[in-house]
Amino acid sequence: MDVLTFLVLILGLAYSLYIYSRSGKQADTVRIPPGPKPLPLIGNIFDLTAKELWVKATSLAQTYGPVFQLSILHPSLPISQPLIFLSSPEVCFDLLDKKGGIYADKPKLVMAGELCGYVQRVYTIKSSTTHPSLYRCDNMVAFTGYGSQSRRQRKLLGMALSKEKIPAYQGLIERETAGFLTGLLSAHSSSASSSTVSLPSKSTLPSRFLAYIPLIRRYAGQLTLSVIYGYTVPTSYTQNVHDKFLDMAEDCLDILSNGIASGGGIWLVDIFPWLKKAPKSFEFLPLFSFLPKSRAWKAKMIEFVEKPFEWVKAEMQKGTHKPSFCSTLLENPDAVVPSAETNRFKKRQSDISPELLSSWASVSSNAVKPTSSNAKGYAQFEFDLKWTANSMYSASGDTTVTTVMHYFLALLQDADSGSEVVRKARMELDLVTGLADDSPSTIKPRLPSLSDRYIDVDVPDGKGGTRRVKKPRFPYVEAVMSEVWRWGVVVPLNLPHRLTQDDVYTPPPSPSNPHPTPVLLRKGSLIFGNIWSILRSHELFGDDVDDFRPERYLLSTHEDNVLYGSHNHSYDEDEYEMIRRERRKRDPRSYVFGFGRRQCPGQNLVESSVWLLTATLLSTVDVRRPCVEGEDGKERVVRENVNFNNSVFRTPDPFGVDIRPRSEKALEVIMLAGESEEAESL
């Protein structure tokens, strides 16, 4: 297409859209959800903000109610894109959970799917098990349309990450937590990290105050790399050396969240797919800058998906692999990696329990994997496995980093106001870790472990007998963790779902709309569960929603008696259910991991890993604002304004934290645990 034809096409289309939007004004009688008035032609584009859209959406919900609509282009245009924001627990559950079958699809994105992943013509596919059109980002689980592919992928995810599988990772999680802590303290005291870095806030800080960020990335990356690919980063946490797979993930996650998914992941080319055919000579125009960008990003994405998977297969061929999710599912005498069987004796010890590995092996040999005689089916299986593996790795990075950054932000505030949160948490933890200065000498000082989290209690079952339930051993630490999820809100607008058929819904009455009438949600609308507005709801959490206050999650004595039984309390099923229902409604975990059939499959893993990280940090280190020497030679405390510039995750811009061991005793315990965990990983 030459430049002139292309210009004529654009002008022609713009004019016809304008005419259409004027005529649509009279014709449009369909009741769509309320929302700010769309402008002719462009719709609500000016109501969308690139930064913290969840805050704007929450304030719009106060005016328009818990179901409101914005539209990219005027809603009367057939190519307009409705964006529907759900802002209360009831509407999220009613639509995304109860009607999950029609609300489980994902946006069909030209930029993310087709342009940033599709490489059929430029990439030589070496493996005989691949088939065309594989390299699209929409093969990543979070982008996969709802259907047989997403169901197959989620089945694989369940095999690795369902609740009952998590104890198999206990050793790995404990090892990595100890490694992370050693790295943290070593970076803090190392002279090598005394260089300075500039922050987005224009201040400059010694790099040791920011060392926690790459260390969390490594921690999150190592957990999934071990489980999925059996890969161990060859250097310890105390050595600040780059690693091929961690660096690759870092680049690609940056591309995904700050590139492809910036501005909500919807590019102009997603609305006008024909823009992708623009001639190369147009690429100097800002409007078409997405084309060269997509080519560069695509190349990186392919590497990210292919390289770790190829690495597993190569290790299997040599027989030197650590058994992992991928290797166990690939392993089969008549599969593509025959020599793995003959070289079994060289295989290294896995980070995963033998029971889980053998459960994967048995599922793999019957239910999940077709035999190699069924070449097409096998290619499909390997394709699903490769993308599912990559999806687990990609999805765990930014989310875990963001959660830990929220934890540090909360602790900085706590330090400003006298460290009450830390004091109360330590009162519980010190009883088992023996890390207080005055802990009895009978308790051998140690780090917390995942086995410390619950105690078994027998509670009345309402039929005259008892049943065994798990009761949190450290209620205040649990409350801190719940408050980190609530206060931080890692993915404030959830990831968008797509509605696959028209739906009519009557929202529950709200103060802004006491007598709601049915609204039509159009097929193809993108649905955003506004988790931020729910977790900042005054109705659910009171007026101090912006404060970090774990106490809001502590059980009253009465609730404790009802839930966990007491000799002088008679069991009342209705009351028990009522308290559980109310607590579930206020529990951030009911929201922060998304909704319905697309809920986060990694939540059981992070629930364990983040708990241990939180409990370990609370037990062992003091967190303070950094201090730097001013021009007058005096120390001054650095107070930074924290900004949230990522449009998908509520990731704070880097901020400095001064992290030191709480005491000599804590330092000794950390170093000891770090050394033995390092030895174990080799």
Report how many helices (DSSP H) and strands (DSSP E) the chain contains, helices first: 22, 14
Nearer to ligand HEM, 224 or 620 (CB): 224
Q: Which of 119, 185, 291, 392 binds ligand HEM (CB under 6 A)?
A: 392
Return the residues of window 493-512 that contact ligand HEM according to CB under 6 A. Answer: 494-495
Number of chain positions touching ligand HEM (CB under 6 A): 29
Instruction: Of 9, 39, 8, give the one whose Cα is nearest residue 24.
Output: 39
Q: Burial of 174 by CB count in 10 Å (0-12 exposed, 13-18 middle, 19+ buried)?
A: buried
Nearer to ligand HEM, 498 or 552 (CB): 498
Is there binding between residue 600 and ligand HEM (CB under 6 A)?
Answer: yes
Q: Which of 141, 166, 405, 421 binds ligand HEM (CB under 6 A)?
A: 141
Least distance from C-beta 322 to ligand HEM, angstroms? 18
Task: For residue 178, give every residue at least 6 positions away whose Cβ sits within 8 Å of its Cβ, in sequence order, or none.
Answer: 447, 616, 670, 673, 674, 676, 677
Least distance from C-beta 391 to ligand HEM, angstroms? 4
Least distance from C-beta 660 to ligand HEM, angstroms? 26
Nearer to ligand HEM, 34 or 145 (CB): 145
Instruction: Of 401, 405, 445, give the one whose Cα is nearest residue 662.
Output: 445
Distance CA 78, CA 27 (A): 13
Is there binding between residue 491 and ligand HEM (CB under 6 A)?
Answer: yes
Stretch that binds ligand HEM, among 169-177, 235-243, 438-446, 595-603 (CB under 6 A): 595-603
Stretch that binds ligand HEM, among 205-213, 399-407, 554-562, 639-647 (CB under 6 A): 399-407
Distance CA 67, CA 332 (A): 51
Least distance from C-beta 158 to ligand HEM, angstroms? 11
Is there binding between residue 166 and ligand HEM (CB under 6 A)?
Answer: no
Is there binding between residue 488 and ligand HEM (CB under 6 A)?
Answer: no
Is there binding between residue 490 and ligand HEM (CB under 6 A)?
Answer: yes
The two three-digit tokens of residue 266, written as one number: 């919807």
Return the residues of window 402-461 that contact ligand HEM according to CB under 6 A. Answer: 403
End-to-end CA distance of the chain: give it in Å, rounded: 58
Is there binding between residue 395 and ligand HEM (CB under 6 A)?
Answer: yes
| Phi-psi sector, 489: left (phi>0), alpha (psi -120 to 50), beta | left
C-alpha distances in angstroms, 22 versus 17, 25, 325, 352?
9, 5, 56, 63
Q: Which of 61, 211, 562, 605 binds ligand HEM (CB under 6 A)?
A: 605
Q: Which helix (H) or strand (E) holds 623?
A: strand 621-624
The two three-digit tokens of residue 589, written as one number: 């975990």
Least distance from C-beta 305 to ligand HEM, angstroms? 14
**Roughly what angle, to the nearest 10 degrees, separates helices 375-416 and 475-488?**
100
DSSP for 551-572, please give it. GGGPPPHHHHHHHH-BTTB---
Is there binding between residue 400 and ligand HEM (CB under 6 A)?
Answer: yes
Least distance from C-beta 539 to ligand HEM, angstroms? 22
Is there binding between residue 222 and ligand HEM (CB under 6 A)?
Answer: no
Q: Which of 86, 425, 592, 648 binds ligand HEM (CB under 6 A)?
A: 592
Is there binding between residue 601 and ligand HEM (CB under 6 A)?
Answer: yes
Least distance from C-beta 617 to ligand HEM, angstroms? 15
Q: Does the annotation flag 252 for ligand binding?
A: no
Is there binding between residue 252 and ligand HEM (CB under 6 A)?
Answer: no
DSSP tag of 661 = E
C-alpha distances in angstroms, 287 versus 47, 269, 275, 427?
20, 10, 9, 58
Is there binding between residue 329 and ligand HEM (CB under 6 A)?
Answer: no
Is there binding between residue 115 and ligand HEM (CB under 6 A)?
Answer: no
Task: For residue 480, give every residue at least 6 positions away whose Cβ sits within 8 Å of its Cβ, in sequence order, or none.
Answer: 421, 425, 550, 614, 618
Residue with tokens 């903000």: 49
Return the residues of window 173-192 that contact ligand HEM according to CB under 6 A. Answer: none
Least distance from C-beta 396 to ligand HEM, angstroms? 3
Is there binding between residue 207 and ligand HEM (CB under 6 A)?
Answer: no
Distance CA 42, CA 71 (A): 8
Instruction: Of 75, 78, 83, 9, give the one whose Cα is nearest residue 40.
Output: 75
Stretch that binds ligand HEM, among 107-115, 266-274, 347-355, 586-594 (CB under 6 A): 586-594
Nearer to ligand HEM, 237 or 591 (CB): 591
Q: Are 597 and 104 in contact (CB under 8 A)?
A: yes
Distance CA 609, CA 615 (A): 10
Distance CA 428, CA 242 (A): 38
Binding-site positions: 600
Contacting residues toward ligand HEM, per CB under 6 A: 141-142, 150, 154, 157, 161, 224, 391-392, 395-396, 399-400, 403, 490-491, 494-495, 592-595, 598-602, 605-606
Binding-site members for heme are 600
